[in-house]
Chain A
Amino acid sequence: KQEVTQIPAALSVPEGENLVLNCSFTDSAIYNLQWFRQDPGKGLTSLLLIQSSQREQTSGRLNASLDKSSGRSTLYIAASQPGDSATYLCAVVVSQGGSEKLVFGKGTKLTVNP
């Protein structure tokens, strides 16, 4: 059964710092990996989708990498801003229980201090 782990659980950084969030998964048989952002009391906003054949994706100040063989992904945030404060969730799409579905980590809660 696929398990997704995100480390650290919480991270606090000063504004302007570059940072890396980590995601690991136990089974490399994934279709793709998606990073989301969740603000308190809100829904999930999709940030980046990396297909299993890809190594990385970039969107603005965000860069996500995928190393399927080692079961790892990282989300790099450049020049962090207070508005980046949120919980970041990593999810992999796997075939499990009869269909393909997203399996989530518990997230990393990021605080960017002005």
Chain B
Amino acid sequence: NAGVMQNPRHLVRRRGQEARLRCSPMKGHSHVYWYRQLPEEGLKFMVYLQKENIIDESGMPKERFSAEFPKEGPSILRIQQVVRGDSAAYFCASSLMGTVNTEAFFGQGTRLTVV
């Protein structure tokens, strides 16, 4: 049973370009969470999705950021018109039934560098 798979592992974008980060949850998991880790900072919640639904996007910037988790395929975190401040590690986690009762498993992360 493969773990949470994220790709790409590293992504370099020029300012103004778009970044697409992909996350395939563990098999059978329908709850997906995205977190951002800035240098020397803790992980900060961005968005929580279930299949085809955004449950909570309270941690996501209102502009340029969007997330989806379609019925088929991976969850996508999309950052439009990237700026230097978007440089960070983005982690995806999945759980079987939500984190109240079940463990969260994290992917290896995507390290975004904006030049």
Contact = CB atoms under 8 A, between A and B. Distances in A.
Contacts, number: 71
A79 to B, nearest CB: 25
Contacts of A4: 42
Interface string B89-109: 001010000111101111111
A102 B33 contact: yes
Contact of B100 (A31, A42, A91): A31
Contacts of A34: 103-104
B108 A42 contact: yes
B105 A46 contact: yes
A99 B42 contact: no
Interface residues of B, number: 29
Contacts of A75: none
Interface of A is mostly: strand
Interface residues of A, number: 27
A98 interface: yes
B42 A43 contact: no
Interface string A1-45: 000100000000000000000000000000110101000011111
Given A43-B106, A99-B48, A93 B42 contact: no
Interface of B: 4, 6, 33, 35, 40-45, 48, 55-56, 58-59, 91, 93, 98-101, 103-109, 111
Interface of A: 4, 31-32, 34, 36, 41-46, 49, 51, 89, 91, 93, 97-107
